[in-house]
Amino acid sequence: MLANPMNIPPLSIAAAKAALAAQFADPVLRQRATMLWGTRGVGKSSIVRQVADHFRVPLVDLRLTTIEPVDIRGAIYADEVQGKTVWFPPEFLPGPDQPAGILFLDELTAADQRLQISAYSLILDRKVGHYRLPDGWQVVAAGNASFHGAVSHDMGTALADRMFHFHVQAVIDAFLDYGVAQGLAPEVLAYLKVRPDKLDDTQAQLAQDHLVGASPRGWEDVSRVLQSGLGETARQHFVQGRIGAANAAEFFGVLRELQAGVDVVKLLAAKPGADTVALLPRTLDGLYGMLYGLLAACTSAPVLTRALEVMEQLPEARSTVPLPLREAQTLAMELMMQKALERGLEGAILDSPAYARYTAQRQKDGLGR
């Protein structure tokens, strides 16, 4: 776990998202800005977007490192009728016709200090110049602290004292659940299941003065590379360029073991019984490679029914090393049930003799359903 000298309790992505959603739902709490702290690629901007989508409200996303102070304050002009200068607010700031939404000030701590002054006005007073943010809008900022290894300007105590602060960290179980829901490559999920320390090694890479390392966002990109039509050499180049040479070398080593150890297509086509047992994995990498490979293949009732039969026989796998077969079986059954519910395939599970025998055995063992 990352050091946290700011004395901010760490939160998972899911917990931070739930907190932001609860804040937006409360009209009083919504008036106070929230700051999301976290390493690069941990998913800070993603959860803000998801909260806006959940409430079906507009999101104004300002990357503060790409704009100038005048872009927030607006342009000044001489009003000859009033005999004074007046500020024209920028068009991206919400007007009276948009009563509710989320204003996201990303990369706040990395922005030029002149720009931060304008941003602070929106955070502290919900206004800039003569412009005032509508009451229904929530202000969320995000950035990195200096101990995250990023370019960062210190936040003054006057500003910090006027915000809620969440220290967002990557949690492997939450990321795996997210990866299943998003259809990430099963090879990536299997690798991270047995090497959770590789989900985010930003701190370790920075300690070695390395610019590129692994992060949750990086693994999403690796998944896209694996699911693309690129050739083997090109895939290696892109993965190396996204998560670093050492991480890529280890990942491809495991990937070759996954590909050699378990053939999901053959496993699904095999007859129940001895033919299935002969194809079951014999290594830890192969075990989770098979699990996530089967899960990715479960897009129809017949495939799901067969996958349940395979998982029922998993404890029969022969291996020269101890494997967490029962644990993996339980995880697979839970994930398959979850996917079935999402896709309207729950009938295939309820009608499955293999699943019925699995639940009966768990009840017999005193483990419940």
For residue 20, pLDDT beyond 90: yes
The answer to whether 105 and 64 have CB atoms below 8 angstroms apart is yes
pLDDT tens column, 275-314: 999 999 888 888 988 999 898 888 899 999 999 999 999 9
Q: How many domains does the chain contain in total?
A: 3
Residue 3 falls within a domain, yes or no? Answer: no
Residues 77 and 147 in one domain: yes
Tell whether 126 and 17 lie within a shared domain. yes
| Structure-block tokens of residue 39 | 């390493």
The reply to whether 248 and 287 lie within a common domain is: no
**CB atoms inside a 10 Å sphere around CB 267:** 21
- 191 and 117 in a single domain? The answer is no
Closest C-alpha among 136, 166, 133 to residue 25: 136
Q: How many CB atoms lie within 10 A of CB 115?
A: 21
In a domain, 161, yes or no: yes
Cα separation, 333 vs 354, in Å, equals: 11
Q: Do residues 139 and 120 make contact, with C-beta atoms less than 8 angstroms apart?
A: no
Given this model, what pLDDT does residue 137 score?
A: 95
Which residues are within 8 A (CB) of 84 and not within 5 positions of it... i.e. 6 or more apart?
78
What pLDDT score was predicted for residue 130? 76
Helix, strand or coil for residue 139? strand
**140 and 90 in a common domain:** yes
Cβ contact 363:369 at 8 Å: yes
DSSP E strand boundaries for the chain: 10-12, 33-37, 59-63, 75-79, 84-88, 100-106, 127-128, 131-132, 136-143, 163-169
Residue 268 located in a structural domain: yes
Do 252 and 357 belong together in one domain? no
Q: Are residues 79 and 185 in the same domain?
A: no
Comparing 349 with 155, the larger pLDDT belongs to 349
Q: Are residues 24 and 103 in the same domain?
A: yes
The verdict on 181 and 301 lying in the same domain is no
- 209-261 pLDDT, tens digit per residue, is 777 888 888 999 999 999 998 998 999 999 999 999 889 998 998 888 777 77
- Of 207, 236, 261, which residue sits at a domain end? 261
At 368 the pLDDT is 61
Task: Read off the pLDDT of residues 118-142 as tens digits, 9 standing for 90 and up.
Answer: 778 888 888 877 788 899 999 999 9
Check pLDDT > 60 for residue 192.
yes
**306 close to 276: Cβ distance less than 8 angstroms:** no
Same-domain pairing of 91 and 105: yes
State whether residue 267 is helix, strand or coil: helix
CA dihedral sign, ordered 282, 286, 288, 290: negative
CA 127, distance to chain mean position in Å, is 32
Residue 71 sits in a domain whose CATH number is 3.40.50.300
- Confidence at residue 139, expressed as pLDDT on a 0 to 100 scale: 94
Beta strands 127-128 and 131-132: pairing type? antiparallel
Cα–Cα distance for residue pair 133/234, rounded to 1 Å: 48
Residue carrying the six token digits 């991270």: 192
Per the domain annotation, does 160 fall within a domain?
yes
- Please answer whether residues 242 and 218 qualify as being in contact, where contact means their C-beta atoms are separated by less than 8 angstroms: yes
- Tell me, yes or no, whether 4 lies in a domain: no
Average pLDDT rounded to a whole number, residues 64-83: 72
CB 37 within 8 A of CB 145: yes
pLDDT at 53 over 50: yes
- 113 or 46: whose pLDDT is higher? 46
pLDDT at 1: 43
Q: With 90 as the cut, is the pLDDT of residue 188 above it?
A: yes
For residue 211, what pLDDT is reported? Answer: 78
**Residues 205, 149: Cα–Cα separation, whole Å:** 10
Q: 223: closest CA among 245, 197, 261, 255?
A: 255
Give the structural domain span for 326: 262-369
Same domain? For 300 and 250 the reply is: no
Q: Which of 9-23, 50-64, 72-86 has the lowest mean pLDDT?
A: 72-86
Residue 81 DSSP label = T
What is the per-residue pLDDT for 369?
53
Q: Is the pLDDT of residue 271 over 60?
A: yes
Strand order in the sheet with 10-12: 10-12, 163-169, 33-37, 136-143, 100-106, 59-63
Residue 318 within any structural domain of the chain: yes
Q: Which of 223, 246, 261 is the last residue of a domain?
A: 261
DSSP state of 317: -
pLDDT above 60 (res 16): yes
For residue 213, what are its two tokens? Answer: 């390392």
Q: Which of 121, 143, 169 is the last residue of a domain?
A: 169
Does residue 150 share a domain with residue 38?
Answer: yes
Task: Tell me the helices (H) and strands (E) count for the chain, helix number first.
Answer: 18, 10
Question: pLDDT of 74-110, one tens digit each?
Answer: 667 677 777 777 667 677 788 888 999 999 998 888 7
Measured between alpha carbons, how far is residue 253 from residues 240, 248, 301, 319 in Å? 13, 8, 34, 20
Q: Is residue 2 a part of any domain in this protein?
A: no
Evaluate if residue 147 carries a pLDDT over 80. Answer: no
What is the spatial distance between Cα 252 and Cα 54, in angstroms, rounded to a whole number? Answer: 37
